[in-house]
Amino acid sequence: MTEKKTNTFTLIRQENNIAHLVMDVANESMNTLKAEFAEEIAEVLQEIKADTSLKGLVLLSGKKDSFVAGADINMIADCQTAEEATALSRKGQMIFDQIESLTIPVIAAIDGPCLGGGLELAMACHERVCSDNPKTALGLPEVQLGLLPGSGGTQRLPKLVGIQKALDMMLTGKQLRAKQALKAGLVLDVVPNTVLVEVAEKFILSGKVKAGAQATKVVKLNLVGKVLERTPFGRKVLFNQATKTVLSKTKGNYPAPLKIIDCIKTGVEQSQAKGYQLEADHFGHLAMTDVSAQLRQIFFATTDMKKEQGIEGVDAAAIENIGVLGGGLMGGGIAFVTATKAKFPVRIKDINQKGIHSALKYSFDLLNKKVKRRFMKKSEMQKQLSMITGTTDYSGFKNVDVVIEAVFEDLTLKQNMVADIESHCKESTIFASNTSSLPIGQIAQLAQRPENVIGLHYFSPVDKMPLAEIIAHDKTSDQTISTTVALAKKQGKTPIVVKDKAGFYVNRILAPYMNEAAQLLLAGEPVEKLDKALVKFGFPVGPMQLLDEVGIDIGAKIGPILQAELGDRFSPPEAFNKLIADGRLGRKVKKGFYQYGTKKKLVDETVYPLLSITKQEKLSIEQISLRCVYMMLNEAVRCLDEGIIRNARDGDIGAIFGIGFPPFLGGPFNYIDNIGATEVVKQMNTFKHECGERFAPCSKLVEMAECNAKFYE
Ligand SMILES: C[C@H](O)CC(=O)SCCNC(=O)CCNC(=O)[C@H](O)C(C)(C)COP(=O)(O)OP(=O)(O)OC[C@H]1O[C@@H](n2cnc3c(N)ncnc32)[C@H](O)[C@@H]1OP(=O)(O)O
């Protein structure tokens, strides 16, 4: 065995004349691709080419459980000009071309994440094989950073999996698990990681991997697929449809998806060389956009947040068993993420069997979907379901470490639950309330061990929404905070620690925005126009639809609580009581601002006479969105000023992950920084003059405007 070593790569020649090229970036937990590797790779390739007795090459990672997480995002963020970023892309393309043009068979042995530039590298190899490690994932997530695959990915992926699948992967950034990658034809086989390299070698020795095979690979397609991908007319339909879908989803706010389509189309219809050129040019341009800068910022922020403990220096207590009180929609969702993501056994208590069944059904339905799609084996589903059990008394609660309460929003009921848990569980058991509006301090008021009481506020649907608010009251212990943060992270959530004041952070900034939309409706602006305005601005749904989804009664219940503690800008419009009296509670009763049961989404026009509204369109879409959004911005700044959130970063991530604040704007604080506090204050004063005192900019914002300050320096 001979060896050649550079900083990052080790080339080890095996006795069977196959060489292993091991990538291991020094001092980093994961491999990422950097421009400076070009010289190291050139050196290694020269060595490989010089050895004429080599039969093949296996490319693998020296890191445990991870292959290559893509190009180094810091390196892209450091580019000062589009030309610089284009040059980076060109360099990547050229290096990968050199790997592809090796005359010995090259196979990538993938264990763990193989993303972005990492997958582009693997696709430049002549074949790929991956492990069945649950961490193995193959994808091109560049679009989520406002970029496109810039090292040949837009050209190679369509050749390997077909145009439709490649469009789907690149436009959504979705990652394929091992089995999905096999089904898509992206890998030759899926094997346990203990034999991964051995199998890769066997593929070379058996002749299954051939140098130059990429060029002749024919993707398996059904008849419709052949018509769509292999005829000019079919491809025209395909690309037009993809463009239409992108525009309807992005409302023109995200430039990367259209550029991705452009690159694929150019490569397929013209030539690979033109495709490469366009890919590099578009990559350079996209890297310089504000959209990409904001999306990269979100990546950096969430990576930092993964490391935070809740309270610095205070370790979380060990947890093994979780209890959930209430088997409703929230309780069911919490049990699901606890059992399937955190992998803790869950004991659900409800007052009746029906509640327990509905919680179990929640998990069954979600897991069964995976089984039906063949993403999961039935035995695995059964194993996961067996982690969730139910009771109508407190049997099985003696050993739970954390109890998450998800019962009705009733203070006395919740205080009784605290007392129950204190008498049925261990002294150390944490009581975490999923309340969305009641102060945690009041829930803990009668507690014997208030230090164990905390808020853990999830968003619906729990299995999808990534945020959790962790609310400490005055007496919550530091260890309770760190333990709850650790639990939320294990459940797959991004937690933010917030102060115990009405509405916490997310609902507090949402309420004035929703109220403003209600004011606009009462002034005659049509329901669908309000929703269209905010969707165009970048929210996933508009305020009227959101009210229908959440429940008009829920909004009405939270409003007065916020008003009592925070003032009149939170007073919900009185006219909305008529909606509740009319039984118009939203989607759950199939009666709200919209009609339900119709094919097309239609406004229920009877809502106008019910609220004594005469429709009259006075404002533009832009004016509508600004009025709603500026109310939210102002409240977010107040939250920062009052210490409700710890910093602007938490406020931005909270708004994006909890409400769907447009990610491309980077969250309320990044957005204000971009517009400039002075400009925001000026606009708010204009609104104040036109619409009333509720638009008065808060003192912190005024102060920032005066000294031209930013939240992020
Ligand atoms: C030209 C090309 O086409 C352009 C590109 O490739 S752009 C990059 C595309 N790749 C991506 O978007 C993947 C980004 N990374 C991820 O999604 C996640 O890190 C992951 C799924 C790979 C792993 O997640 P997880 O196990 O939770 O680990 P996580 O804490 O996020 O990351 C571990 C470390 O790797 C770093 N890292 C991961 N991917 C990185 C990347 N692409 N660039 C820079 N750093 C990266 C993280 O910053 C973190 O660093 P730290 O230890 O110093 O804090």
Nearest Cα to Cα of residue 430 among 464, 388, 401, 396: 401
For residue 66, which atom of ligand 1 is closest to its CA?
22
**Integer CA distances (angstroms), 347 to 326, 578, 712, in order:** 11, 40, 44
**pLDDT on residue 376:** 85
Please state the φ and ψ torsions of residue 87, each to the nearest 5 degrees: -65, -35
**Integer CA distances (angstroms), 372 to 181, 269, 615, in order:** 17, 37, 47
Q: Mean pLDDT across the stretch 311-315?
A: 95
Residue whose CA lies nearest to ligand 1 atom number 44: 72
**pLDDT on residue 368:** 95
Residue whose CA lies nearest to ligand 1 atom number 43: 72
The pick from 64, 73, 75, 341 for probing ligand 1's pocket by mutation, whose C-beta has the most ligand atoms within 8 angstroms, reads 73
Can you name the residues that pair with 403 across neighbouring β-strands? 323, 431
**pLDDT on residue 618:** 92
Three-class SS of residue 158? helix
Q: What is the DSSP letter of 295?
A: H
Beta strands in 120-201 (DSSP E): 127-131, 137-139, 175-177, 190-191
**Has residue 634 got a pLDDT over 90?**
yes
Nearest Cα to Cα of residue 632 among 496, 501, 507: 507
| pLDDT tens for each residue of 149-198 | 999 999 999 999 999 999 999 999 999 999 999 999 999 999 999 999 99
Residue whose CA lies nearest to ligand 1 atom number 8: 70
The CA distance from 674 to 708, in Å, is 12
640: buried, middle or exposed (CB in 10 Å: 19+, 13-18, 0-12)? buried
Residue 461 CB partners (closer than 8 Å, separation 6+): 329, 333
430: confidence class by pLDDT, cuts 50, 70, 90: very high
**Known catalytic residue at 427:** no
For residue 72, which atom of ligand 1 is closest to its CA?
43
**Has residue 545 got a pLDDT over 90?**
yes
The CA distance from 125 to 104, in Å, is 10
Q: Name the strand (E) or helix (H) holding 199.
A: helix 196-205
**pLDDT on residue 216:** 67
Q: Note the Cα 700 to chain centre separation in Å.
A: 31
**Has residue 409 got a pLDDT over 90?**
no
**Has residue 1 got a pLDDT over 60?**
no
For residue 145, which atom of ligand 1 is closest to its CA?
12
For residue 671, how far is its CA from the centre of ligand 1 (angstroms)? 25
pTM above 0.90, yes or no: yes
The CA distance from 365 to 427, in Å, is 35
Q: Mean pLDDT across the stretch 452-460?
A: 96
For residue 256, how far is its CA from the centre of ligand 1 (angstroms)? 19
487: confidence class by pLDDT, cuts 50, 70, 90: very high
544: confidence class by pLDDT, cuts 50, 70, 90: very high
Residue whose CA lies nearest to ligand 1 atom number 18: 69
| Number of Cβ within a 10 Å radius of residue 59 | 24
Residue whose CA lies nearest to ligand 1 atom number 30: 303
For residue 151, how far is its CA from the centre of ligand 1 (angstroms)? 17
| pLDDT tens for each residue of 78-121 | 999 999 999 999 999 999 999 999 999 999 999 999 999 999 99
For residue 30, which atom of ligand 1 is closest to its CA?
35
The CA distance from 197 to 68, in Å, is 16
For residue 119, how far is its CA from the centre of ligand 1 (angstroms)? 13
For residue 299, which atom of ligand 1 is closest to its CA?
14
Q: Name the strand (E) or helix (H) holding 108.
A: strand 106-110
Question: Which single residue is written with the structure tokens 């463009």?
Answer: 243
**Has residue 215 got a pLDDT over 70?**
no
The CA distance from 33 to 219, in Å, is 29
Q: What's the residue count for the chain? A: 713
- Show the domains of the chain with their CATH numbers: 2-290 (3.90.226.10), 322-500 (3.40.50.720), 507-706 (1.10.1040.50)
**pLDDT on residue 70:** 97
Strand order in the sheet with 2-5: 2-5, 9-13, 18-23, 56-61, 106-110, 127-131, 190-191
The CA distance from 506 to 511, in Å, is 9
For residue 238, how far is its CA from the centre of ligand 1 (angstroms)? 32
Give the mean pLDDT of the chain. 95
**pLDDT on residue 510:** 96
The binding-site residues of ligand 1, defined as CB within 6 angstroms of any ligand atom, are: 29-30, 32, 69-74, 89, 92, 113, 115-117, 120, 141-142, 145, 147, 149-151, 153, 303, 306
User: Which residue has better confidence, 494 or 560?
Assistant: 494
Q: Mean pLDDT across the stretch 544-549?
A: 94
**Has residue 573 got a pLDDT over 90?**
no
Q: Mean pLDDT across the stretch 33-41?
A: 92
For residue 149, how far is its CA from the centre of ligand 1 (angstroms)? 15
**pLDDT on residue 213:** 65
Q: Mean pLDDT across the stretch 67-76?
A: 97
Cα torsion at 187, 193, 197, 203 (round to 10°)?
Answer: -40
**Has residue 568 got a pLDDT over 90?**
no
| pLDDT tens for each residue of 360-399 | 999 999 999 989 988 788 999 999 999 999 999 999 999 9
The CA distance from 247 to 194, in Å, is 45
For residue 120, how far is its CA from the centre of ligand 1 (angstroms)? 15
559: confidence class by pLDDT, cuts 50, 70, 90: confident
Of the candidates 229, 469, 516, 525, the residue annotated as catalytic is 469
Nearest Cα to Cα of residue 279 among 267, 294, 297, 268: 267
Q: Mean pLDDT across the stretch 200-212?
A: 93
550: confidence class by pLDDT, cuts 50, 70, 90: confident
The pick from 72, 303, 489 for probing ligand 1's pocket by mutation, whose C-beta has the most ligand atoms within 8 angstroms, reads 303
575: confidence class by pLDDT, cuts 50, 70, 90: confident
For residue 93, how far is its CA from the centre of ligand 1 (angstroms)? 20
The pick from 72, 89, 115, 147 for probing ligand 1's pocket by mutation, whose C-beta has the most ligand atoms within 8 angstroms, reads 115
